[in-house]
Amino acid sequence: MSRALTPDSIAQQIEHLEYRNLAFIDGQFVPARSGKTFDTLNPATGKVITQLAACDAEDVDIAVKAARRAFEAGVWSRMAPAERKAIMQRFADLIEENCLELAILEAMEAGKPISECFNVDIPDTANTIRWHAEAIDKLNDAVTPTDSGVLSLVTREPIGVVGAVLPWNFPAMMVGWKLGPALATGNSVILKPAKLTSLSTTRLAELAFKAGVPAGVLNVLPGMGSTAGKAIGMHPDIDLVGFTGSTEVGRMFLEYSAASNLKEVLLECGGKNPQVVMPDVSDLKTVASNVLAAAFWNMGENCSAGSRLIVHRSIKDALLEEVLAQLASDWKLGDPLDPQVNLGALIEESHMKKVLSYIETAKNEGLTLLIGGERVREESGGYFVPPTIFDDAMPESTIVREEIFGPVLAVMTFDTEEEAIALANDTCYGLAASLWSNDLNTVHRMSAAIRAGTVTVNCFGEGDITTPFGGFKQSGFGGRDKSVYAHDQYCELKTTWIQLG
């Protein structure tokens, strides 16, 4: 089993760390055909960790051919469901056994706090793979109630070769969300991690192979979006692409699909998520701790981050007092490899500069800075921005309108329920929302009125593995991650109509 999380265990694991820096294609680690590599950096120090294979269209094509061969041969797509299930369960076991190593790779490459990686991200990845594995032999197909004299079957078949193009903010967890249902339903997969965070993903590919996922079924190609990512989007023999990332690049995948083979596209994109606090809430301590988690979990580099706090005027001052007190006592920014830290580094220098420029814009637009607002720990060479809260935000304020993907919370007030709903929905996004009220009628009315894929009531979160995750409006398109609904998305539905004699 994986070891406990202590400074000693982390240091010992780092001493023995090996990087899987090549592409994983057809059951083997291989360099990019061009021989090109790129640097991957530790955002907490600004230093290079290692070089990775820079895959491009040629590598994607080789991987797709291997994936198609495996699919047609049926080594996975037609494997007995119980056997496929057992292999995926072994894969989940191996993820758990190697939790510390995977958590360190994530913390080093993404700047995420190691305690989060170790206690949340990697266990969630294992759990997702295991949960989808267990669904394999529990979901039935259908016989439809049609005329006598006919036997009408509706069956699900794997769609074929699936591309998965992933973001840097939850590298392993997003592998789980895409790979779990895609593999469970018998597909072959071409997976491209974000350029900034490939090391946990290449290691996961190795663990999947060790667990028994046959050669060619899972291929991992590190590389740039504009080369490897685009080649996946444009490839004529990929049947579906599952994408998580910015809305801007999500749009490109729709264009790639239209310009190539009309592959299906599932998009999980950005969010500008409201946290609405009604005046009847009694436990401001609990509200405050959730407001902070919503805004600053993963340094706010989270598509479901609750970056707009919409609070009733009568309780705003009391809530903000509690928020600031808990921020001071419960949130520690520092080295992501320190198990006590719960705020790490932002992903890269250019992203930090973007976040800081939003902060400057908010100051220039006259919002009231309550805390944070400047880069910290610069001497480390890393990209650290502390939790930053602006009061007196307006619907037209830039930090209210645009996704920042950093630790910046905008606070707005309202007087009536109608006003709160209008503010919550005043965005082109619709991924998530949280709502606080002790009144059942208010909860029903408002959760129905808020346009978002997930509304959490009296808590912040993303549901669990049983609940679908994805967005309304420009937050998403084509489907959902997690839950049994995700299985259907990676399948074609086939009708077989049998005229009986």
Give the active site residues: 268
Residues whose CB falls within 8 Å of the CB of residue 284, separated by 6 or more in sequence, listed in order: 315, 318, 319, 322
Q: Does 241 bind ligand NAI (CB under 6 A)?
A: no
Q: Is 190 in the site for ligand NAI (CB under 6 A)?
A: no
Which distant-in-sequence residues (6+ apart) come within 8 Å of 157 by Cβ? 186, 491, 492, 494
Q: Which residues make beta-bridge pairs with 435?
A: 276, 457
Can you tell me which of 21, 127, 197, 244 binds ligand BAL, judged by CB under 6 A?
A: 244
Q: Does 242 bind ligand NAI (CB under 6 A)?
A: no
Please give the residues from 152 up to 181 whose contact with ligand NAI meets the rule CB under 6 A: 165-169
**Interface positions, 420-459, toward ligand BAL (CB under 6 A):** none
CB-CB neighbours of 248 under 10 Å? 9
Residue 453 is a binding residue for ligand NAI (CB under 6 A): no
Task: Work out how close the CB of 169 gets to ligand BAL at its nearest, in angstroms, rounded to a whole number.
Answer: 5
Q: Using the minimum distance from each CB to ligand NAI, give the nearer residue, 320 or 455.
A: 455
Nearest 5°: the CA angle 43, 49, 55 is 100
Q: Which residue is nearest to ligand BAL (CB)?
A: 303
Q: Is 479 in the site for ligand NAI (CB under 6 A)?
A: no
Residues in CB range of 176: below 8 A, 6 or more apart: 124, 125, 126, 127, 128, 129
The residue (of 290 and 304) whose beta carbon lies closer to ligand NAI is 304
Strands 388-391 and 368-371: antiparallel
Among 34, 45, 152, 246, which residue interacts with ligand NAI (rule: CB under 6 A)?
246
Which residues 268-287 are close enough to bind ligand NAI by CB under 6 A? 269-270
111 interface partner picked from ligand BAL, ligand NAI, none, CB below 5 to 8 A per type: none
Closest to 275 (Cα-Cα) out of 412, 405, 367: 412
> With binding defined as CB under 6 A, does residue 98 bind ligand NAI?
no
Q: CA end-to-end span of the chain, whole Å?
A: 59
25-33, 135-143, 165-173, 202-210 -> range binding ligand BAL (CB under 6 A)? 165-173
| Cross-strand partners of 244 | 268
Residue 215 DSSP symbol: T
Show contacts with ligand BAL in window 304-323 (CB under 6 A).
304
**Residue list 44-73, contact with ligand BAL (CB under 6 A):** none
| Of the candidate residues 5, 232, 303, 465, the single one contacting ligand BAL (CB under 6 A) | 303
Distance between CA atoms of residues 345 and 125, nearest Å: 22
Cβ-based nearer residue to ligand NAI, 63 or 249: 249
233 or 334: CB nearest ligand NAI:
233
Q: Which one of ligand NAI, ligand BAL, none interacts with residue 304, CB within 5 to 8 A by kind?
A: ligand BAL
- For residue 154, give the 3-state DSSP assignment: strand
Contacted entry of ligand NAI, ligand BAL, none for residue 160, CB cut-off 5 to 8 Å set by kind:
none
Among 30, 120, 215, 252, binds ligand NAI (CB under 6 A): 252
The secondary structure of 345-413, three-state, reads CCCCHHHHHHHHHHHHHHHHCCCEEEECCCCECHHHCCCECCCEEEECCCCCCHHHHCCCCCCEEEEEE
Give the Cα separation of 223 and 195 in Å (integer).
5
User: Given the complex with ligand BAL, which of 304 and 483 has the nearer CB atom?
Assistant: 304
> Closest Cα to residue 244, out of 347, 334, 321, 173?
173
What does the block give as tokens for 200? 């946990």
Residues of this chain that interact with ligand NAI (CB under 6 A) are: 165-169, 192, 194-195, 225-226, 229-230, 233, 244-246, 249, 252, 269-270, 303, 351, 403, 405
Residues of this chain that interact with ligand BAL (CB under 6 A) are: 167, 169-170, 244, 302-304, 462
